[in-house]
A and B are shown apart, each in its own frame.
Chain A
Amino acid sequence: MSMKIFIPRDSAATAVGADEVARAIAQEAAAQKLSVQIIRNSSRGMFWLEPFVEVETPQGRVGYGPVSEKDVKALFKARFHEGKPHKLSVGLVEELPYLKNQERLTFARAGLTDPLSIDDYRAHGGYEGLAKALTLAGSAIVTEVTDSGLRGRGGAGFPTGLKWKTVHDARADQKYVCCNADEGDSGTFADRMVMEGDPFMLIEGMTIAALASGATKGFVYIRSEYPAAIATMKQAIIIAEAAGFLGQNIQGTDRSFRLEVRRGAGAYICGEETAMLESLEGKRGMVRAKPPIPALQGLFGKPTVINNVLSFAAVPFILAKGAATYKNYGMGRSHGTLPFQLAGNIKRGGLVEKAFGVTLGELVNDFGGGTASGKKVRAMQIGGPLGAYVPAAQLGMPMDYETFAANGAMVGHGGIVVFDSNVDMAAQARFAMEFCAIESCGKCTPCRIGSTRGMEVIDRITANEEREANLTLLEDLCQTMTDGSLCAMGGLTPMPVMSALKHFPEDFGAKKPRMKMAAE
């Protein structure tokens, strides 16, 4: 019987040499005349261990990492293929506290399956949600999603069921389902992991959305920075169609749903839903004014369900296990789980799916193990480049949409970027303005011009030029951007800027902390 060896095909594994490791293992096995089956699985999301090689044993999978090409001969010598000890061994993978202490509802299959094996997917609970949905009327599916308490995982936290209901109730000859997979926020990679590691889950979630809303056509808009995700999604669509889970007459019913992948072209703003619609229509990614809301007049002017990858990915579980099961997780009005992403200067970076309510400190210190550099955690940027910088003093904050909002921060897409004591917070604030200037679509003035003026004002503050006047000017500018921008790009750029200034005034050349700050 051949031994099964798992080596992830996730970009975070191949970017640190997983392909080379897989090749070396295959060569060494051949040289030793060992019969091994190498499976390129999805990643467990423990990126400090990548390339993470797992071996199937009667006790369960034993893991080794981070493995480099150079380690392969020694691993075979230690008989790693039988799960024997080696200095890179982490023991039984399922027993690792990092995985054991998670609540993986969406990422239940992460690391377990071959991403493009639909049989593997089904053997691990895949397509149970769709089977249920095919027995329900559209309105009943909408009710199920509404009852689960699921809120938009892209960052805005809008109730998914309400959005779907609006599209369901709209009358039109054509409706669409669009997946926003333009995951441009630094510190986030959960969408990429879904698309590269469990693509059928996204397809299943979108298909359920189509059944719920009455849409027959859908698009996955994927950023061009994710070539592996684009390739995997395209292949998965072909496989799902061939297996009768997508396309004409899904599973022999009279329901049909066609799905297409569209590539972005390096514009961050296209992660904003209306800019994404413009881009999907082949136009410049310029933000549209709302109303009309996309649920009523979206793609090509038709009612459109737009959700983030993680929102769609949560749906198969909700349909399969029931809304109440999902809703039982979480706190307050934040129901279910969020796949948090530990990133930046962190010892054990990766994907941690937990119910809402877990504290920032539990994520960064207990799971993450503090900084990679070993220095003190000084700041964390949460929710992408438009999210607030949070000081270490707030590590006790529970991850919850409302708690974060009350503290002038946002959970966003669940990305947490950790910075150690080396960070220059004035440089980070300036970068927030610079990034906005580079990526602004240019439609509204506060964002297009305010971002450049913002950089200049921050430069004058750090140079101690008319300090007080420029601080007032920066606050005023940020207020104008918050109030006057068309979308979150200009509207939220002040969040990292003002939070950095509020919590770390000493980095802006202040002699002592400024006590009085305008309310954010």
Chain B
Amino acid sequence: MSGKATLLDFTGKTADPALAICQKHGNRSDALLEILHDLQHEQGHVPEASLPVIAKALNLSRAEVYGVATFYHDFHFKPKAAHVIKICRAEACQSMGARELQAMAEKFLKVKLGETTADRQITLEATYCLGLCASSPAIMVDERPVARVDAKTFKAIVAGLK
């Protein structure tokens, strides 16, 4: 990704990293979700300061860009922990003990869903269906789906992340 390369605007200040990403997508407003995904992938979060920059590049209002960034569950303005574990809360996983798995995970990591551990290593979140419904319960560890999860495998996964 070339977005880390320093672009200078005419005032000599470092340009916002979102600019290069918007350019990569041809400054097309229909690519806004892709732009936010790329920006988040690169920066670890969507910096709020980038929103007006994106708005200008795509010829949208700031409200429109803010509206999109806040509508979708995936986008977040604040950095998360080094790792994100998402526990599937949907029905197929419920039928195989997802509620108990969630309770165990919250107790084990000493956080509630949506929170980050004290050592800032793991953010625990909910997700709704990973399409692994015949191998429940399932979780997503960063970008890696893991199925047939029980307390033992969950603890081993956490140990492997640290």
Contacts and interface: CB of A to CB of B under 8 A. Distances in A.
Interface of A: 11-12, 14-16, 47-48, 50, 183-189, 191-192, 224-228, 262-268, 279-285, 300, 341-346, 349-350, 372, 381, 385, 415, 417-420, 423, 428, 431, 435, 438-439
Contacts of B96: 344-345, 372
B91 A385 contact: yes
A14 B91 CA distance: 22
Given A16-B147, A279-B33, A11 B132 contact: yes
A48 B133 CA distance: 11
B12 interface: no
Interface in B55-89: 58, 64, 67-68, 71-75
B115 to A, nearest CB: 17
Given A280-B30, A282-B29, A342 B145 contact: no
Contact of A418 (B37, B73, B95): B95
Nearest to B31: A282
Interface stretch (B2-10, B13-21, B101-109, B123-131): B123-131
Nearest to B58: A282
A48 B147 CA distance: 11
Interface string B28-45: 111111101100000000
A349 B29 CA distance: 42
Contacts of A280: 30
B90 interface: yes
B158 interface: no
8 contacts: A12-B132, A186-B92, A227-B143, A265-B74, A342-B134, A344-B92, A385-B90, A419-B95
Nearest to B133: A343
Nearest to A219: B30
A227 B132 CA distance: 13
Given A282-B29, A372-B96, A418-B95, A266 B72 contact: yes
Nearest to A342: B134
Given A187-B92, A263-B34, A266-B74, A11 B131 contact: yes
A82 B147 CA distance: 30
Contacts of B144: 15
A403 to B, nearest CB: 22
B135 A15 contact: yes
Contacts of A423: 95
B95 A344 contact: yes
Contacts of A417: 91-92, 95, 133
B157 to A, nearest CB: 12
Given A267-B71, A420-B95, A15 B136 contact: no
B95 A431 contact: no
B95 A265 contact: no
B114 to A, nearest CB: 12
Contact of B93 (A50, A186, A263, A342): A186
A431 B94 contact: yes
B123 to A, nearest CB: 14
Given A283-B68, A344-B92, 12 more contacts: A11-B131, A15-B144, A186-B93, A225-B127, A225-B140, A263-B33, A279-B33, A282-B29, A282-B30, A282-B68, A385-B90, A417-B133
A183 B75 CA distance: 19
Contacts of A343: 92, 133-134, 136
Contacts of A431: 91, 94
Nearest to B140: A225
A427 to B, nearest CB: 8
Contact of A267 (B72, B93, B127, B145): B72
List the 5 closest pairs (A to B, CB-CB), nearest first.
A349-B134, A186-B90, A265-B72, A282-B32, A343-B133
B71 A11 contact: no
A504 B136 CA distance: 24
Contacts of A227: 143
B148 interface: yes
A444 B95 CA distance: 31
A302 B68 CA distance: 22
A308 to B, nearest CB: 14
B138 interface: yes
A274 to B, nearest CB: 15
A9 to B, nearest CB: 13
Contacts of B91: 186-187, 344, 381, 385, 417, 428, 431
